[in-house]
Amino acid sequence: IILEQLKKLGASCDWDRTTFTMDEKYSESVIDTFIDLFNKGKIYRGARMINWDPAAKTALSDEEVIHKEVNSKLYHVRYKIVGSDEYVTIATTRPETILGDTAVCINPEDE
């Protein structure tokens, strides 16, 4: 159906060289390329923050994310600085995560 639609749109392609993404030769090529890129260090597994769609249960690219501003509460929490009588105040919109806090990182360039 897709090829017929492309032809009706006037697409100029070599119609004798079409492939289906699940063709065995094509799938093997994708796997071989993946392994090659992995061996070259271009693909890796790591712990990173990603854009996640909980409804589709998949990662999203930055281009797919729709940003919107939301009015919400900002909670301020004081943490005692170890080895000092001083405190640092942080702000969060997610107070339920505070119990999991193990460290606070501060940019030394910040005032």
Q: What is the pTM for the complete model shown?
A: 0.39
The reported pLDDT for the residue numbered 22 is 83
pLDDT of residue 106 exceeding 90: no
Q: What's the number of domains the chain is made of?
A: 1
**Residue 92 placed within a domain:** no
Residue 31 is assigned to a structural domain of this protein: yes
> pLDDT for 9-65, tens place per residue?
999 999 898 888 888 888 999 999 999 999 999 998 888 889 999 999 999 999 999
Does the pLDDT value for residue 92 go beyond 90? yes
Handedness of CA 76, 80, 82, 88 (dihedral sign): positive
CA nearest 101: which of 84, 73, 80? Answer: 80
The H or E element that residue 80 is part of is strand 75-80
In a domain, 99, yes or no: no
The residues that bridge with 77 in the sheet, in sequence order, are 90
* C-alpha–C-alpha distance, residues 20 and 37, integer Å: 23
104 is a domain residue:
no
Which residue segment(s) compose the domain that 39 sits in?
2-64
